[in-house]
Amino acid sequence: MKSLKYWILVYIYCFIIFIYSATPKPPEPFIVVHATDWIKHIAEYLILSFLVFFAFKNSKSFEDYPALYTIIFVVLFAVSDEIHQLFVPGRYFSVLDILADSFASILFFSLKIINNFKVITYRKI
């Protein structure tokens, strides 16, 4: 039951991505970021990776390999999002978008691993 709050956040965020992908010409976000499409995809899916990781990490059934489950979830969601865009006028399927989304998930874990390294400090004698 503890993991339910994490999954609710995942579902809400996935729904937001779905709605955004369903618009023929997506509106600019409230804070207009002049960045390439790749940067936008990476930022969007870094957040998704963060939310999904903590949902899996706090789920009893998936707590053993939350990183692996997160990457699989994010890649499958990215593929489903691109397939969804095939049916939206003005949108198209893009393998490069799937690669950017998948890269974001791997980047999330790379940053997490770097953050977990301990800095070795030397004591003064």
124 assigned to some structural domain: no
83 assigned to some structural domain: yes
- Residue 124 — very low, low, confident or very high, per pLDDT cuts 50/70/90? low
In this prediction, residue 28 carries a pLDDT of 59
Residue 74's domain comprises 4-22+36-116
Distance of CA 95 to the CA centre of its chain: 16
29 assigned to some structural domain: no
Name the average pLDDT for the chain: 83
123 assigned to some structural domain: no
What is the tally of structural domains in the chain?
1
16 assigned to some structural domain: yes
Residue 119 has pLDDT above 60, yes or no: no
pLDDT, one tens digit per residue, over 32-75 is: 555 677 888 899 999 999 999 999 988 888 878 888 899 999 99
- Residue 26 — very low, low, confident or very high, per pLDDT cuts 50/70/90? low
Tell me the three state secondary structure of residue 18: helix
What are the residues whose beta carbons fall under 8 Å from the beta carbon of 97, sequence distance 6 or more? 37, 41, 78, 81, 82
28 assigned to some structural domain: no
Token pair for residue 72?
A: 């699989």
- Residue 53 in contact with residue 47, Cβ under 8 Å? no
Tell me the three state secondary structure of residue 31: coil
Per DSSP, the residues of 48-104 read: HHHHHHHHHHT-TTTTTSHHHHHHHHHHHHHHHHHHHHTTSTT----HHHHHHHHHH
In this prediction, residue 117 carries a pLDDT of 54
Single-letter residue type at 77:
F
Residue 4 has pLDDT above 80, yes or no: yes
58 assigned to some structural domain: yes
- Residue 3 — very low, low, confident or very high, per pLDDT cuts 50/70/90? confident
Residue identified by tokens 């989304």 is 101
- Residue 118 — very low, low, confident or very high, per pLDDT cuts 50/70/90? very low
Model-level pTM?
Answer: 0.80
121 assigned to some structural domain: no
In this prediction, residue 73 carries a pLDDT of 96
